[in-house]
Structure 1
Amino acid sequence: MPASRRGFLAAAGLTAVAGCLGDSASKTPSGPLSLPTADERLPLPASPERLRDAARSGGPSKDGIPSIDEPQFVGPDRAGFLADGDPVFGVVRDGVAKAYPQKILAQHEIVNDTLAGTPVSVTYCPLTGTVQGFERGNTTFGVSGRLINSNLVMYDRHTETWWPQMLATSIPGPWNGDPEIRSLREFRLIWTTWKQWRDQNPETRVLSTDTGHAKNYSRDPYGSYNPRRGYYADDDLLFGALNGSDRFGPKRVVMGLRTPSGATAFPKDALRSAGQLRGSVGETPVLAIYDDRYDTAYGYLSPDGRSFERDGNRLVDANGTAHEPDALPLSRVHTFDSMWFAWAGYYPETDVAE
């Protein structure tokens, strides 16, 4: 395994990570910053200063992996570059469905887009297997070129503050040494396959390969999830974890959720088998529900320990009312896919449900 991400990508046939930079590095927003943030700050695994000191270069420099700042979308009939099993990251907002192909995001990591009039950033870190969406207000996010816990460190182009993707929270960095420490407002992206997403959302729009950058989008340069090849297939890491854990294989996929009270992880393969699993964040019980429409899961706070019976892919409560997996009468908590080493690296005290 090459010692750097630049070497890994070059070995995969990309002699220049940045490709054609276009204008992404020069699009500095003007006017005062307006950035929606969460009502409560999410927990950090260490002080902001320690996290800053743990950052290391991932190979490419600032904006060396260019964000997509003017995304174009096509209909399913023009998405011939996608095979049925290709991973996509899907979202529905106000009845409009969009899909972001993994093999495009793997080479850009950030798409600055708009959903139903709301400016957002769709972000993906190939090294940790995490896809997350954030409301971005009147700024845009770029790729800093640094990694913490092997995870993408974004920066906002208004204040040049660092934002580790998985933490969704600002920390100081070399371009802004004293930012306000706050957490971004998140939204859910569903990691699924093109076929599963298209079957449920036949009118979906798909991020086009017309990105304005000279890239080969025929494959993910890190390998393939289906079947597992390349970086995704073995236990080797290009960069280390912030905290080590040998409880599971480092790249076993978990569905993780965190609140200001704590964090919990649900192994995805165990969720497939069980259909639902219980855990806790702090003192609050939580429930994870598997959804076979997309091969994903949703997490809920369940302080009264309510139970549900599965009826196919639906959940039936004590009153006999059936609910879809993403619409239980409980408080839903933001939940996302992650490789185990990355989740445990940021949340070493995480609860784990199996």
Structure 2
Amino acid sequence: MFKGVLLCLGLLLPWSAQADPQAWQREWPQTDFSRTTVPEWRQIRSGGVPKDGIPALDAPQFVAAAKARRLKPREPVVTLEMAGVRPRAYPLRYLTWHEIVNDVVAGVPVAVTYCPLCNSAVTFDRRTAAGTLSFGVSGKLRHSDMVMYDRETQSWWQQATGTGIVGRMAGMELRTLPSWVESWQEFTARNPDGLVMAEPGWNRDYGRNPYRGYDTAKWPFLYDGSPPPHGVAPMARVVRAGHRAWPLERLAAAGEIREAGLVLSWRAGQASALDTGRLAQGRDIGSVRVRDAQGRDVAHDVMFAFAFHAFWPDGTWMLK
């Protein structure tokens, strides 16, 4: 059962906390609150920590995967494979505590992001028409999803969609890069010469899951939107590609699905990062890959159903 799961991150707040742009202006004097795509300010609420209370990482160090000893076989990692460089793994044991990693891979500035409350792991190209941005954690949530901010303009961004929602960059969209979450043993089996992000130098109990029991809760934290349609449980995982969502349960039963010009595949062996007290010991939820008809990796996300419904209310549910 989901019990006080966010206490160690300082995220427990009264549900009555109100959105107040005038109050935010004192904390965010450089943010242009006259520009927003959010229909109602009350959709944005404090997550209980201040700006940078969850510290994003910049220019992380990497070690050879063959020499890494901290990770267990079923531990989840975000994999980023780009032409011309050794594949990189970003362990969720670190992203759970930092949520954003600003990195440069094959000359491309990237932001590897993870929102535990939505189980959303998305990698973005940090280059925009307004220049290259770097991202931090605002401490705000919208529909239970992390609100990022860019340090250059102090604009706010929705993590699940990569869209600017407040400030000068409101309405702009980041380009999503293909990445996926898989087990550490899958990454190393395919990439014996790969790299893995080194443990950050922060005082954190890396490997512990501060969200113990969260993905078996009946309702998401600080979410007051409507439940998903079709009887889909709010905390059920779905594979989102574009504006479509496939229930993970359906994909796991089939092993492979070929629809909408895509090939979705599932294999067992990855531990849930949001289950037991240690990430490596979570129940097996399996790993997902999404490719196009030519076998090229496609940007996708394995997120909770409530989040897909909140951010893609007109999206297509691929139920059968």
Tell me the TM-score range normalised by the shorter chain: 0.7 to 0.9
Q: 1:159 aligns with which of 153, 167, 172?
A: 153
1:235 aligns with 2:228: no
Q: Deviation per CA, 1:226-245, whole angstroms, max 9, x where unpaired?
A: xxxx2123224221154322
Partner of 2:265: 290
TM-score, normalised relative to structure 2: 0.77
Q: In angstroms, what is the RMSD of aligned CA positions? A: 2.6
* Count of residue correspondences: 272
Q: Which of structure 1's runs of 4+ aligned residues deviate more than 4 A?
A: 1-4, 330-333
Counterparts of 1:91 and 1:85, CA distance in 2: 18
Instruction: Describe how 1:193-272 pairs up with structure 2 within 5 A.
Output: 193-209=183-199, 211-223=200-212, 230-245=213-228, 247-258=231-242, 263-272=243-252
Partner of 1:343: 308
- Change in Cα spacing, 1:199 to 1:327, as seen in structure 2 (3 Å) is farther
Partner of 1:183: 173
Query: In terms of mean alpha carbon deviation, does 197-206 or 77-86 score higher?
Result: 77-86
DSSP-derived class of the 1:82 partner? coil
Please state how far the C-alpha of 1:185 moved relative to its aligned partner. 0.9
- Change in Cα spacing, 1:10 to 1:332, as seen in structure 2 (3 Å) is closer
Please state how far the C-alpha of 1:267 moved relative to its aligned partner. 1.0
Please state how far the C-alpha of 1:213 moved relative to its aligned partner. 1.7
Instruction: Describe how 1:83-98 pairs up with structure 2 within 5 A.
Output: 83-94=72-83, 95-98=85-88
Please state how far the C-alpha of 1:335 moved relative to its aligned partner. 1.6
Please state how far the C-alpha of 1:253 moved relative to its aligned partner. 1.0
Q: Say whether the 8 Å CA contact 1:4–1:58 is kept in structure 2.
A: no
Counterparts of 1:349 and 1:222, CA distance in 2: 30
Structure 1 counterpart of 2:153, one-letter code: T
Partner of 2:273: none
Please state how far the C-alpha of 1:256 moved relative to its aligned partner. 0.6
Counterparts of 1:231 and 1:180, CA distance in 2: 31
Q: Say whether the 8 Å CA contact 1:120–1:135 is kept in structure 2.
A: yes
Counterparts of 2:70 and 2:158, CA distance in 1: 31
Counterparts of 1:346 and 1:288, CA distance in 2: 23
Partner of 2:39: 50
DSSP-derived class of the 2:53 partner? coil
Counterparts of 2:73 and 2:295, CA distance in 1: 33
Counterparts of 1:158 and 1:115, CA distance in 2: 21
Please state how far the C-alpha of 1:10 moved relative to its aligned partner. 5.9
- Which stretches in structure 1 are left out of the alignment for 5+ residues? 12-46, 224-229, 280-284, 299-325
Q: 1:61 aligns with which of 36, 50, 57?
A: 50
Counterparts of 2:207 and 2:176, CA distance in 1: 30
Counterparts of 2:208 and 2:72, CA distance in 1: 11
Partner of 2:14: none
Q: Say whether the 8 Å CA contact 2:109–2:125 is kept in structure 1.
A: yes
Please state how far the C-alpha of 1:291 moved relative to its aligned partner. 4.8
Q: Say whether the 8 Å CA contact 1:271–1:290 is kept in structure 2.
A: yes
- Which stretches in structure 2 are left out of the alignment for 5+ residues? 12-35, 269-285
- Change in Cα spacing, 1:93 to 1:121, as seen in structure 2 (3 Å) is same
Counterparts of 1:51 and 1:96, CA distance in 2: 44
Please state how far the C-alpha of 1:81 moved relative to its aligned partner. 1.5
Q: Say whether the 8 Å CA contact 2:179–2:300 is kept in structure 1.
A: no
DSSP-derived class of the 1:62 partner? coil
Structure 1 counterpart of 2:217, one-letter code: D
Counterparts of 2:301 and 2:197, CA distance in 1: 21
Q: 2:65 aligns with which of 66, 76, 86?
A: 76
The percent identity for this pair of structures is 31
DSSP-derived class of the 2:252 partner? helix
1:329 aligns with 2:279: no
Please state how far the C-alpha of 1:62 moved relative to its aligned partner. 0.6
DSSP-derived class of the 1:93 partner? coil
Counterparts of 1:327 and 1:350, CA distance in 2: 19
TM-score, normalised relative to structure 1: 0.70
Q: Say whether the 8 Å CA contact 1:4–1:59 is kept in structure 2.
A: no
Counterparts of 1:2 and 1:273, CA distance in 2: 30
Please state how far the C-alpha of 1:48 moved relative to its aligned partner. 1.1
Q: 1:127 aligns with which of 117, 126, 131?
A: 117
Counterparts of 1:278 and 1:239, CA distance in 2: 35
- Change in Cα spacing, 1:200 to 1:55, as seen in structure 2 (3 Å) is same
Instruction: Describe how 1:110-125 pairs up with structure 2 within 5 A.
Output: 110-125=100-115
Please state how far the C-alpha of 1:344 moved relative to its aligned partner. 1.1
- Change in Cα spacing, 1:339 to 1:167, as seen in structure 2 (3 Å) is same
Counterparts of 1:152 and 1:287, CA distance in 2: 28
